[in-house]
């Protein structure tokens, strides 16, 4: 009886620890800003809300560059931590280079309603893709996903690839289960494999994405292992460019000249198809 009770306590403790790690590292940031205010911007921007199928409000901000027409419309799915306000500098960098940029807060993030879950992430992405479909842009539309947003963007690009002209991922992981296993210590890896589910999978989605793709991943990434970027590259069937960089997770824009050179090459590839 005591042995059974001890096993139950140990298993329960492992499950709680693993769940907590997954909760904090993957999907539900503990420090996003619910009422964050955008800083004063030199670029024109418009704040608005979309309504998801489950009737949750999603906060979006469209930034417009001074250069008209813009080179392309960026639809940006941000990373796990923070909110739109945390990524305003990203939009500003895009605008300075002549790109319009749409920032999106997932359900449960920033000023968006609801609670963040696997399913709500997917619902957020689908809601934004439906909005893009309605806009009928007269310029290239690039879906850009960073980190957890990169993983989401792979599934959204697969489902809505007729709405996007190209896909860019930066520091994206391959699947929920894979990043959970990579994120925990050796003692918990078995439990991560056993308990974490991949409700949608980027590594499976990329095989069915036919639009041009740019996969960016740092060899020094300590958050999402470099091999995941290579795995996505290897699974891509066609029109895929791989840009290995150096630096921490999320450092692609630090070398802005090389970064926008890669984007311009991607857009030229769209024109050639």
Q: Assign residue 11 the CATH number of its domain.
A: 3.40.50.1820
In a domain, 36, yes or no: no
pTM of the model: 0.87
pLDDT band at 237 (very low <50, low <70, confident <90, very high): confident
| pLDDT (mean) for 213-230 | 97
For CA atoms 159, 161, 163, 164, the dihedral sign is positive
> Regarding predicted confidence, which is higher, 5 or 258?
258
Q: With b meaning 16 or more CB within 10 Å and e meaning fewer, what string describes 194-230?
A: eebebebbbbebbeebebbbbbbbbeebebbbbebbb
pLDDT band at 260 (very low <50, low <70, confident <90, very high): very high
> Regarding predicted confidence, which is higher, 35 or 233?
233
> Residue 168: its pLDDT value, please?
98
In a domain, 169, yes or no: yes
Residue 273: pLDDT above 60? Answer: no
- For residue 237, the tally of other CB atoms under 10 A from its CB is 11
| pLDDT (mean) for 157-183 | 94
Q: Which long-range contacts (CB under 8 A, 24 or more apart) does 33-38 make?
A: 33/82, 33/83, 33/85, 33/86, 33/110, 34/83, 34/110, 34/111, 35/111, 36/83, 36/84, 36/85, 36/86, 36/110, 36/111, 37/85, 38/84, 38/85, 38/88
In a domain, 37, yes or no: no
* Range in 76-80, 104-108, 128-132, 190-194 the model is least confident about: 190-194
How many structural domains comprise the chain?
1
CA distance 82 to 91: 14
pLDDT band at 23 (very low <50, low <70, confident <90, very high): very low
* 3-state secondary structure (DSSP) of residue 44: strand
pLDDT band at 17 (very low <50, low <70, confident <90, very high): very low
CA distance 150 to 168: 8
Residue 10: pLDDT above 50? Answer: no
Domain extent, residue 227, equals 2-30+43-272
Highest-confidence range of 7-11, 36-40, 81-85, 224-228, by mean pLDDT? 224-228
Residue 3: pLDDT above 60? Answer: no
> Residue 1: its pLDDT value, please?
53
> Residue 154: its pLDDT value, please?
98
pLDDT band at 28 (very low <50, low <70, confident <90, very high): very low
Q: What digits encode the pLDDT tens for the residues 72-113?
A: 999 999 999 889 999 999 999 999 999 999 999 999 999 999
Residue 12: pLDDT above 80? Answer: no
Residue 32: pLDDT above 70? Answer: no
pLDDT band at 245 (very low <50, low <70, confident <90, very high): very high
> Residue 184: its pLDDT value, please?
86
> Residue 26: its pLDDT value, please?
47
In a domain, 14, yes or no: yes
């Amino acid at each position: 009886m005591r042995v059974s009770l001890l096993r139950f306590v140990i298993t329960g403790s492992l499950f709680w620890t693993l769940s907590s790690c997954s909760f904090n590292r993957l999907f539900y940031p503990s420090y996003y800003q619910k009422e964050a205010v955008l800083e004063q911007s030199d670029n024109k921007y418009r704040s608005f809300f979309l309504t998801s199928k489950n009737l949750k409000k999603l906060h979006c901000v469209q930034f417009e560059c001074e250069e008209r027409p813009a080179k392309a419309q960026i639809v940006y799915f941000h990373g796990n931590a923070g909110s739109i306000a945390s990524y305003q500098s990203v939009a500003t960098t895009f605008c300075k280079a002549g790109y319009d940029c749409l920032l999106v807060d997932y359900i449960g993030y920033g000023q968006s309603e609801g609670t963040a879950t696997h399913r709500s992430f997917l619902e957020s992405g689908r809601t934004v893709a439906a909005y893009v479909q309605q806009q009928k842009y007269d310029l290239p539309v690039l879906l850009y996903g960073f980190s957890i947003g990169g993983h989401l963007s792979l599934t959204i690009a697969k489902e809505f690839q007729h709405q996007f002209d190209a896909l860019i991922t930066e520091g994206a992981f391959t699947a929920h289960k894979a990043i959970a296993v990579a994120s925990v210590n050796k003692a918990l890896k078995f439990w991560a494999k056993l308990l974490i589910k991949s409700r949608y999978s980027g590594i499976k989605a990329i095989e069915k994405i036919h639009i041009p793709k740019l996969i960016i991943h740092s060899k020094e990434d300590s958050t999402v292992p470099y091999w995941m970027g290579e795995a996505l590259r290897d699974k891509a069937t066609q029109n895929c460019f791989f840009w290995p960089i150096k630096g921490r997770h999320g450092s692609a824009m630090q070398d802005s000249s090389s970064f926008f050179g890669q984007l311009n090459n991607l857009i030229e590839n769209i024109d050639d198809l």
